[in-house]
Copies of this chain bind each other. A is one copy, B any other.
Amino acid sequence: MVTIKDVAAHAGVAFKTVSRVVNNDPTVKPKNREKVLKAIEELGYRPNRAAQMTRRKKSGVIGFIADELLRVPYTFDLIRGAQDLAWKHDKELMVLNVNVNKYSVEGAVNHLFEHRVEGIIYAAMYHREVSLPLQFKEVPTVLANCYDSYGRYPSIVPDEKEAAREITASLIGKGYKRIAFLNLNENIIAAKLRKEGVEQAFINANINLDNLLVESVIFGEENNERSVTRSRAEDIIKNFKPDAILCGQDPMAVEVYFVVQALGLKVGKDIGVGSFDDWDIIPTLLQPELTTMALPHYEMGQWAFNCLLEERTEPVKETARFTLNSRQSF
């Protein structure tokens, strides 16, 4: 590989001058700069990052630990959010996928430390509490889509309650006044907060809570969940007779659409359907297209990266707002 010295020899200057040109030092005579630039071009020189890092004693690397992240497609926006900013600020984003069976969190952190990361973003697959090993204290750390048990790090999570309030208010605003909310597994924090948000919307609109049915249709432990969406949706439509169904996640909405059609009803006409996530292509694959609250993954990824960039370390717990993607299902 061609080095700074090769370029210097080719250009007829000291190698330090080449270094100056590469680093945009303005104190180089235009004539010399030109000679160097020409030599760089002709020789195809590219600075050696490892050597730069060694001497500078700064790595320019931010670590991104993705906790089981990639099992759910849309969570990838968390990485994208951080990645786009990293590129912009000429930083390297080193993404490590962690899951129980393969790469332990400790292993990932050690790996990142060997690269002398300047900060770490720890992101979870779904909104939840995590307890991180003490190692993280050695370097600035920010949590995205999760928060730590002891509140030791800055963290950002989706504003579940406000999202639930907003979409419910939107339903109510369009005249729906008897709503069934098929909630996520009651073990997860999102289920609890969303229930509060939905109820809040009813209270704000002065509608009797008798017109609201909230029921978890996903059960079981992580990695071994089962859904009773179809059977419960059918039963609820028949007996509770809601004029709208709110689903805890878009895949549930697919099932609800099938149930509604099987009962001879039409989504968006006989019954409104709303949902959460904006899961990949599901919302636009359905007909009518699904109105859903899009998770703010991209924004959370960006917020986390900015937090590190600005060297903020106060253990704030920030929330990010969902976006209402209005389509035709209600």
Chain B: CB-nearest residue to A230: B287
Asked whether, in the complex, the Cβ of B46 is within 8 Å of the Cβ of A113, the reply is yes
Q: Is the interface of A mostly helix, strand, loop or mixed?
A: helix
Q: Which residue of B lies closest to A252 (CB)?
A: B285
**Could you tell me which residues of chain A, from 67 to 106, have a CB within 8 Å of some CB in chain B?**
70, 73-74, 76, 80, 83-84, 87, 92, 94-95, 97, 102-103
Residues of chain B lying within 8 A (CB to CB) of residue A92:
94
Task: Say yes or no: is A31 at the interface (Cβ < 8 Å to chain B).
Answer: no
Q: Is the CB–CB distance between A114 and B46 below 8 Å?
A: yes
Taking a contact as CB atoms under 8 Å apart, the answer to whether B114 and A48 are in contact is: yes
Complex contact A251–B281 (CB within 8 A): yes
B70, A76: Cβ atoms under 8 Å?
yes
Known: A1-B116, A73-B76; 12 extra A-B contacts, CB below 8 A, are: A48-B54, A49-B115, A50-B53, A50-B116, A87-B102, A95-B95, A251-B281, A251-B285, A254-B286, A257-B258, A258-B261, A280-B280
List A residues at the B interface (Cβ < 8 Å).
Answer: 1, 44, 46-51, 53-54, 59, 70, 73-74, 76, 80, 83-84, 87, 92, 94-95, 97, 102-103, 110, 113-116, 138, 230, 251, 254-255, 257-258, 261-262, 280-281, 285-287
19 contacts between A and B (CB under 8 A): A46-B110, A46-B113, A48-B54, A48-B116, A49-B50, A49-B114, A50-B115, A54-B54, A76-B76, A80-B97, A84-B102, A230-B287, A254-B285, A255-B285, A257-B258, A258-B258, A258-B287, A261-B261, A280-B280
